[in-house]
Amino acid sequence: MKRIVIFLSFIVFLACKEQPKEVTTTSIVGTTIEETLSPKDNFGIVIHGGAGTILKENMTPEKETAYKMKLEEAIRIGHTILKNGGTSLEAVEKTINVLENSPLFNAGKGAVFTNQGTNELDASIMDGSTLNAGAVAGVKTIKNPINLAREVMLNSPHVLLSGSGAELFAKERNIETVDPSYFFTEDRMRSLEKVKETISKKEADKTTAFYDHTIKDSKFGTVGCAALDKHGNLAAGTSTGGMTNKKWNRIGDSPIIGAGTYANNATCAVSSTGWGEYFIRAMVAYDISALMEYKGLSLKEAAKEVIQNKLTKLGGTGGIVAIDHNGAITMEFNTAGMYRATMNATDELTIGIYKKDE
């Protein structure tokens, strides 16, 4: 009997020793299953701070350094989260927060002005592991719209909330709000005045004039992030003030799932920036994923096809940053420049602004 007890204890000891170190419990439709998390070494993150007519000759060395420093600060926040085993969703949100809090970018603090001299902000976020998504459009008092988008995704039965309803939801969920004057910056006000001046001089059709000028003079400046975490989950998010001089509660692509943001663990995570109307019509972010899913294209091939062929033929300008389920990163744009940065699992950092930085 004693021998049997010793033998059984030995078996139990062996069984315990065999246990993997990292065990997590996942609940699936009421049934609790145990699965082993085997953290992959592969993870990565890519960000953009807008695409447009960004030319070296129009940039001062100080400004260039300021942009690069902010891009690096932001991407390092997300990279550290991923490195420590955090989720891609958290990395995307926290990285975007840094860019939203900077007046350099057209999101949060640096949002551009509407025709009425107000600021209306849009944002969206998507979880590639569940295809769950959240977005807000036309909010005026939300300090970090990406946080509200995440809240919509996690704590509401909806995907997209707008205007005063979104603000009410923010209040209920204790999301930080600010006085609309928080979004005032001299730079953005000057841009609005310049656009209005040019339009009033033009005899041409007002709609065309509005867009023509905005595209030529605006650096866009929307911010976005796509990330793959160690658990193999992809996420993407985008935040913006929209386009200078926008009217009639215009909403761009940034809060539109499939246009401005898309993430699917089976394919990739994408964040867009550029002339929103075209990105909506071309369903840019989803189209890249769909080419991978249905046609077996690589992320690079898919992004190239959508940006350089489809979007360009339509007349749209802008770009995307994306990462696939294997950690491969792609940045594709058809403008003179795009503020961008990448970091991978080996801590390698790249920062680019102009086309030739590729």
Q: Is 155 helix (H, G, I), strand (E, B) or coil?
A: helix
CB of 131 to ligand ASP, least distance (A): 22
CB of 247 to ligand ASP, least distance (A): 13
Burial class (CB in 10 A: 0-12, 13-18, 19+), 211: middle
Other CB atoms within a 10 A radius of the CB of residue 295 amount to 10
CB of 273 to ligand ASP, least distance (A): 4
CB of 318 to ligand ASP, least distance (A): 6
Q: How far apart are CA 52 and CA 211, in angstroms?
A: 13
Please report the sign of the dihedral spanned by the C-alpha atoms of residue 250, residue 252, residue 254, residue 259: positive
Rounded to 5 degrees, what angle do the CA atoms 244, 337, 345 make?
A: 115
Burial class (CB in 10 A: 0-12, 13-18, 19+), 164: exposed
Q: Phi first, then psi: what are they for 149, rounded to 5°?
A: -60, -40
User: Is there a contact between 139 and 163 (Cβ–Cβ < 8 Å)?
Assistant: yes
Q: How far apart are CA 230 and CA 213, in angstroms?
A: 43
**Residues binding ligand ASP (CB under 6 A):** 50, 106, 220-222, 240, 242-243, 252-254, 273-274, 276
CA 250 to chain centre: 20
Q: Is 325 helix (H, G, I), strand (E, B) or coil?
A: coil
What residues does 45 pair with on adjacent strands? 227, 343
- Residue 222 bears catalytic tag: yes
Given the residues 87, 222, 317, 342, the one annotated as active site: 222
Non-local CB neighbours of 4 within 8 Å, separated by 6+ positions: none
User: Is there a contact between 232 and 128 (Cβ–Cβ < 8 Å)?
Assistant: no
Nearer to ligand ASP, 87 or 273 (CB): 273
- DSSP at 314: H
User: Is there a contact between 218 and 112 (Cβ–Cβ < 8 Å)?
Assistant: yes
Q: Which residues are catalytic?
A: 222
